[in-house]
Amino acid sequence: MKYQIPAVLAALLLAVGAGYWLGKGKKVGAGDTASVSAPVAASAPAAAPARKLLYYRNPMGLPDTSPVPKKDSMGMDYIAVYADEDEATTAGEIKISTEKVQKLGVKTEAAALRELARQVTAAGRVEIDERRLHNVAPKFEGWVERLHVNATGQPVAKGQPLFEVYSPELVSAQREYMVAAKGVVALKDASAEMQSGMRQLAEASLARLRNWDISEEQIKALAAGGEAKRTLTFRSPAGGVVLEKKAVAGMRFMPGEMLYQIADVSSVWVLADVFERDIAQVKAGQKVKLAINAYPEKSFTGTIAYIYPTLKAETRTIPVRIELANPGGLLKPAMYASVELAVGGRDKVLTVPLSAVIDSGTRQIVLLQKAAGRFEPREVKLGARSDEYVEVREGIAEGDAVVVAANFLIDAESNLKAALSGLTAAPEAGAKPAKTSVSHQATGTLEAIDAKNGTVTVTHAPVASLAWPAMTMDFILANPGLVDKFKAGAPITIEFVERGPGEWVITKMDAKATAASAAAAQIAK
């Protein structure tokens, strides 16, 4: 055994020496170095360039950013925004994640050329045709002896006796004419001068009777040798109905005093109040359809005869006169009518759906879809409107895709006002973010729902983030569907933001947890 250890050491020394001699004796060329080093370099992974972090933005799209990671009031993490992402969004564009776009239910439609045909509606009332009114007023003094028509509203025919009158002047005029007529006959053999004088007297007497509206029948009877009548019968000058009757048997009347008013209602007027914005589309001669509340199963057709030159300042409407036939007298004066007039130009104009326009009161905005999740607000100038579309005169071109559904939600999610005012520039890393509006929470009771205007009335507890006391106030709904599962009187928890000065918008609404449900939730944990 004592000889084995030196043998092992000798073997090891021999192996080391052989390796050294082989390594030193082997010369490696330049080509050999490249062939060895290349595989080593290829096996090393390439270092990916580091993305430049700009800031963290609010996950709900509110204009609130942070240079460091943080959570919002609902515990959601702020989203990191990198330089390569931010540079892809041009100034004034709105960027929303594709997932959120789907949740909001965003829909787009291309601006297209269309004929803007629409219905102009107006409220009207039936009136008597002023040209068909007739007043019966004797031109002499007398007394009413007898009435043949003695009720207001009674229908009369043309020539039908209305009443009989007695007048001393009338009797004298009849006798004067009778004497003159007989004198003309008696002096037929007299001199030409005498005959001429008598004929002038007879003609003057006859003209006096005619001026007093004596009928031709009575005048012929007098000329034929009849006797002067004590009374005179007045007849209806036209067919129609008696609108007013002042004549009473035995009453005395003075010259020109109206005793009857008769209206021909075979044709009537409808005076419709057309709004100022629609009057440019209304022309004389156009046909209109009318619906009368009293006859819902019937449809009437009339013609615009006249557009009045005055505007009613209280209602901002202009009266329009429509003429229509009234067979059977179905239409009564003072009845209400609903007027429909089809208007619209034949030329095609660039249009978008009415729902695509966000009207702030001072300007009108549409949202153009530039790419998936990218929108650009455009100010437009509008023209004529139809029931579904509106003309766009400036701002967009044919084929541009505009948002027609959920554009208000995009406004709430992305702070459209900031994009419009050019305040979308990202802050520098480490810069202190500007003070902006944030989301607030409150609990309370849902008092009322106004689905038509998209608002709710809520009585809420004090809001610490705004230093508000408990009170009842109105909120705007970011989405009308927020209240689908609630009824008035329900306890709720809401989250809301200030979209504009004094304009508070609810972005989330949940049922308020009761004490029992809260305890059960705690036990479940």
Tokens representing 37?
A: 């080093």
Dist. CA 413–CA 373, nearest whole Å: 12
Contacts of 112 (CB under 8 A, 6+ apart): 350, 351, 398, 399
Q: What is the pLDDT of residue 95?
A: 74
Q: Quote helix, strand, coil % in the chain, to nearest 5.
A: 25, 40, 35
Backbone phi, psi, residue 88, to 5°: -75, -15
CATH number of 94-116+347-420: 2.40.420.20
Q: What is the pLDDT of residue 190?
A: 78
Q: What is the pLDDT of residue 515?
A: 46
pLDDT in tens, 133-154: 999 999 889 999 999 999 999 9
Q: What is the pLDDT of residue 137?
A: 92
Tokens representing 111?
A: 């601006």
Task: Report whether 259 contacts 245 (CB < 8 A).
Answer: yes
Regions of the chain with pLDDT less than 50: 1-6, 8-45, 86-88, 418, 421-437, 515-525
Dist. CA 94–CA 64, nearest whole Å: 15
The matching CATH number, chosen from 3.30.479.10, 2.40.50.320, 3.30.420.40, 3.40.50.150, for 440-524 is 2.40.50.320
Tokens representing 388?
A: 């579904």
Dist. CA 523–CA 90, nearest whole Å: 51
Task: Report whether 136 contacts 162 (CB < 8 A).
Answer: yes
Which residues, in sequence order, are bridge partners of residue 306?
321
pTM: 0.48
Q: What is the pLDDT of residue 388?
A: 84
Dist. CA 392–CA 385, nearest whole Å: 10
CATH class of 267-343: mainly beta
Q: Assign 158 to helix, strand or coil.
A: coil
Dist. CA 321–CA 224, nearest whole Å: 50
Q: Which residue has the tokens 């046909």?
A: 287
Tokens representing 196?
A: 């001429």
**H helical segments located in 50-167:** 83-87, 98-104
Q: Report the 10 Å Cβ neighbour count for 355.
A: 18
Tokens representing 178?
A: 């009778």
503-511 and 471-477 beta bridge pairing? parallel
Dist. CA 430–CA 333, nearest whole Å: 78
Q: What is the pLDDT of residue 52?
A: 78
